[in-house]
Amino acid sequence: MNLRRLKAVTKKELLHIVRDPRSLILALAQPLVMLLLYGYALTLDVDRIPTYVYDQDRTPESRELIDQFRGSRYFQIQGSVNGYKAIDQGINTSKILLSIVVPSQYSHHLLAGEEAPVQILVDGSDSNTAGIALGYAEAVVASYAAQMRSNAQVRRGGQALQPPVEPRIRVWYNSDLKSRNYIVPGLIAVTMMMIASMLSSLTIAREWENGTMEQLLSTPVRPGELVLGKLLAYFTLGVADMLIAIVVGVFAFQVPFRGNVAFLMLTSCLFLLGALSWGIFLSATARTQLMAYQLGMLSSFLPAYLLSGFIYSIQNMPKVIQAISYLVPARYFVTILNGVFLKGVGMRILGGEVILLTLYAVLVFVGASRKMRLKVA
């Protein structure tokens, strides 16, 4: 490694970056756009479920039950209907997601202390949302029924009914259970993986396309110097992107930041180096910019999005996919980001992830340098 040559390469790459203001602006705007778009659009919170009510009972009890739904922030009553046809229509046109049907004998059964079923119809085409909505609806119905029974008991002169076990739930780290709080840190990882490997994926392919690579190969510059020189130039751009992403996450999305800033910076740099090296590796493999770009998109964004545990829980995946996810560096970085942002943990707990990120960066860097060397032969 010759420092003078390294410096020459880095300086040249930085000049390329500033001479192409359109790409530069794009590179800096991309994390902003991605974060804002995904951060606002991608919410897994289910609330204000549009709901129809079909009350066949029309008793004080049935109305009270419906009021329970009306009072809940999870449901939004869109209207009362008088038949299944309207419900069908509502679900088909996506006007509603759920419908509550109170059968005619509801109040009678309830007051008699018998089982008092309520029918809930839900649009199952989005099974995830449907499941969550159904859960909320069941909880509302069950709690109302329990309360009614307890009241009846009191009226009969007895004691209020005490359930044998009463859970007192306390959620740690993301006490409001806001999905944004864990989506945004994960998004930073996905965005950075994508941008970093995009940025660097064009750099060597471009030299091949322009014929400058042939010139470089005839000079004493070593593959390692070329790779590292380019890496350092794009690293400065990557750090800028990373800072933008973090600032947007903390200030625009109000994601709590409980950890150590220095630890976050250190791990971000490690992750960036790995992602940039991956781009250079692809670039050395592909030879054309178009090919490198497509490979970059396919191999950075998709795995980071799907296999990092950022939205989709890795534990629920088939074993084979789980095994593959260990090869995705974003997986470790997502764990680190969630740890740093929400839990405020550091090296003591995330040491393993830090080591794996380092290992990834080193391996891919060596691979990229070797790939360059092979080209010479």
Partner 1 sequence: MPSAVEIRDLVKRFGSFVAVDHINLEVGRGEIFGFLGPNGAGKSTTIRMLCGLLQPTSGKATVGGLDIATQSEAIKQHIGYMSQKFSLYDDLTVEENIDFFSGIYGVPRERRSERKDYVLRMAGIEERRTSLTRLLSGGWKQRLALGCAILHEPPILFLDEPTSGVDPIARRTFWDLIYQLSAAGQTIFVSTHYMDEAEYCHRLALMYRGKIIALGTPAELKQSLASHHLLRLEVSDLVGSMKVLESLEGVSEVAVFGGGLHVTVADPSPAIPAIWAALKQAGIAVSVLEQIEPSMEDVFVAMIEEEERKAA
Q: Binding residues for partner 1, per CB under 8 A?
A: 2, 4-5, 7-9, 11-12, 15-16, 19-20, 210-212, 214-222, 376-377
By C-beta, is 4 or 170 nearer to partner 1? 4
By C-beta, is 12 or 95 nearer to partner 1? 12
330 vs 310: CA distance, rounded Å? 9
58 vs 141: CA distance, rounded Å? 16
Query: Kind and range of the H or E element at 52?
Result: strand 49-55
CB of residue 291 to partner 1, shortest distance in Å: 20
CB of residue 218 to partner 1, shortest distance in Å: 4
By C-beta, is 216 or 297 nearer to partner 1? 216
CB of residue 31 to partner 1, shortest distance in Å: 24
CB of residue 16 to partner 1, shortest distance in Å: 6
By C-beta, is 11 or 58 nearer to partner 1? 11
Nearest to 23, CA basis, from 191, 193, 195, 187 = 195
Q: Which two tokens stand for residue 353?
A: 């992830």
CB of residue 130 to partner 1, shortest distance in Å: 54
Amino acid identity, residue 23? S
By C-beta, is 17 or 314 nearer to partner 1? 17
227 vs 6: CA distance, rounded Å? 9
Cβ atoms 144, 64 nearer than 8 A: yes
CB of residue 275 to partner 1, shortest distance in Å: 25
264 vs 242: CA distance, rounded Å? 10
Chain mean position to CA 56: 43
CB of residue 279 to partner 1, shortest distance in Å: 20
3-state secondary structure string, 153-173?
HHHCCCCCCCCCCCCCCCCCC
306 vs 377: CA distance, rounded Å? 37
* Helical spans, DSSP H, in the chain: 3-19, 21-41, 60-71, 84-92, 106-111, 127-155, 179-210, 212-217, 223-247, 261-286, 289-296, 302-306, 319-325, 329-338, 347-376
By C-beta, is 221 or 291 nearer to partner 1? 221
Angle at 276 between CA 338 and CA 233, to 5 degrees: 115
By C-beta, is 14 or 130 nearer to partner 1? 14
CB of residue 13 to partner 1, shortest distance in Å: 10
CB of residue 9 to partner 1, shortest distance in Å: 7
By C-beta, is 5 or 178 nearer to partner 1? 5
Residue 122 burial class via C-beta count within 10 angstroms: exposed 0-12, middle 13-18, buried 19 and up: buried
By C-beta, is 16 or 287 nearer to partner 1? 16
CB of residue 208 to partner 1, shortest distance in Å: 11
Q: At CB < 8 A and 24+ separation, what contacts does 293-296 make? A: 293/198, 293/201, 293/202, 295/201, 296/197, 296/198, 296/201
369 vs 72: CA distance, rounded Å? 59
By C-beta, is 200 or 308 nearer to partner 1? 200
